[in-house]
Amino acid sequence: MIDANHPELELQDLVEGLLGPAEHATIQAHVDGCVRCRAELDELRRGRELARLVPRLTAPGDVRRDVAVCLQRASDAEQQNGRGVPRRRILAYVLGAAAAVAIAAYVSRREDVPASAIRSYEASKAGERAFDIVTSDPAVLERFFSGRVSFNVRVFDLGMMGYRLVGGRVDQIFTHPIALYTYSGPDNRTLTCGMYRGDLSELPEPNERRDHNDITFLVYKRGAVTAVFWREGDVVCVAMSDMPTDEVVALAFAKSIRS
Amino acid sequence: MVSTTSILRSTGDLRGGFEREALPHLDAVYSFALRLTRRREDAHDLTQETFLRAFERFRGFTPGTNCKAWLFTITYSIFVNQYHRDRREPVFVGVDDRERSVPVSAPRERLTPARAVAEADIEEALAQLPEDFRSTVMLVDAEGVSYEEAAHVLSCPVGTVRSRLFRARKMLAAHLRDYDAAERRDP
Ligand SMILES: [Zn+2]
């Protein structure tokens, strides 16, 4: 049995800082005079410290892939008939033949990344998506990203081209967290650059493939928007803009670094 | 910020909203699923089903509320309904959380050898907790979910979250103490 004279859960509330001033004083006074409760309090503090060290695990690649496939199918089905496909069928599909899954995953992710990136660009341009930070200073933005993504983000200074940095945010293009930052340029043009950890093999067949300085650039055109992707180490860079395609490509050439 | 109406307007918007709000929590959901099921294959399926159900229900999600806690509610509900029955640990039939004891030989999720010893030890201590203690610790301590949100995820009163946390932290501390003692004996 628990001795009613010794606080129990109240000790935890003390650790958590959940007690009101009067109760805090009462419990603290008891603890100060009670060896048993002091030991208990220490134990609770240690337990809480230990619990907070429980590491966040990273979902393995096959989990990311299968979640992506599920969502792609659910979203496609919804788009086609306004209603979802029965969940069992989607899961059965994904859990089906491994080869079919691998191909479907490959195709769906290939289709997804540029579309997802361009959607994000258009949301920025339309002002539908707020920035996490508004700044015209590339160094400030680089520091901001360094605490939020697990890779180094280079923020370009494009002042010479007449493009002024506006701000940036961490967004999500399908299963990748992406550091995105946007510039405002002449003629009301908008340029958004982004970096995420990934690989070019996830991307679909581009409209154009360009090589420069031993780097391959994949060029996608969607309406007035051009998106150019290239790889630097394990990071994929993208530049997206409504400026003429050649200018976006030239900018990507100028700012890329061979890895 | 994206408003409710712009999220709900079309399937494309729905998907975009889901990608922004829900998908960033993929690792958190997977971590929670793995700690619940303790089997990679089960955690894989549970994570996948969580996101699929979440996508189906996303029109009902209120922007600005805690999306991670909302996902955990879905994960836990699937877990209780589909995985709980054949879980591989002793089933505790106490009326009071305080009466429970730690299972003696709970199966453990193997860690990659590259992980630090301390991390493996924490993982082991966590694995030895009864499932509902473990899920409470995961939510409140590891994921920073509030008592109220944890109570909602676990479908239990806030007082139960509080008492489970109390017992779980004491068990973890006891495990750490044993570990420290073993380290001193056999460094
Ligand atoms: Zn006492």
Question: Tens digits of per-residue pLDDT, A164-181?
Answer: 999 998 887 766 788 999
A2-16, A70-84, A244-258: which has the highest mean pLDDT?
A244-258
Q: Does A257 touch chain B (CB under 8 A)?
A: no
Report pLDDT for B112.
35
pLDDT band of A110, cuts 50, 70, 90: very low
- Residue-wise pLDDT for A27-51, tens only, equals 999 999 999 999 999 999 989 988 8
Identify from B3, B14, B19, B32 which residue to disrupt to test chain A contact, counting A C-beta atoms within 10 A and taking the largest count.
B19
Cβ–Cβ below 8 Å for A2 and B142: no
Q: Do B169 and A116 touch (CB under 8 A)?
A: no
What's the pLDDT at A90?
Answer: 63
Q: Residue A146's pLDDT is what?
A: 87
**Confidence band for A115, pLDDT divided at 50, 70 and 90:** confident
Decide if pLDDT at B105 tops 50: no
CA distance to partner chain B, nearest, from residue A19 (Å)? 13
Mean pLDDT (chain B, rounded): 77
**Predicted pLDDT at B180:** 59
Average pLDDT in the B169-177 region? 86
Residues of B in contact with A64 (CB under 8 A): 26
Average pLDDT over residues A83-104: 54
Distance, CA of A161 to CA of A182 (rounded, Å):
14
CA atoms within 13 A on the CB side of A161: 20
pLDDT higher than threshold 90 for residue B121:
no
B residues 118-157 closer than 8 Å to A (CB): 118-119, 122-123, 125-126, 137-138, 141-143
The predicted structure's pLDDT at residue B187: 54
CA A62 to centroid of ligand 1, rounded, Å: 51
In this predicted structure, the answer to whether residue A121 has a pLDDT above a threshold of 50 is: yes
The pLDDT, as a whole number, for residue B29 is: 96
Taking 80 as the threshold, does the pLDDT of residue A240 lie above it? yes
Q: What is the spatial distance between Cα A244 and Cα A15, in angstroms, rounded to a whole number?
A: 60
pLDDT tens sequence across B36-90 = 998 888 999 999 999 999 998 998 898 889 999 999 999 999 999 887 655 544 3
How far apart are the C-alpha atoms of B38 and B52, rounded to whole Å? 21
Confidence label for A84 from pLDDT (cuts 50, 70 and 90): low
- pLDDT at residue A198, rounded to an integer: 82
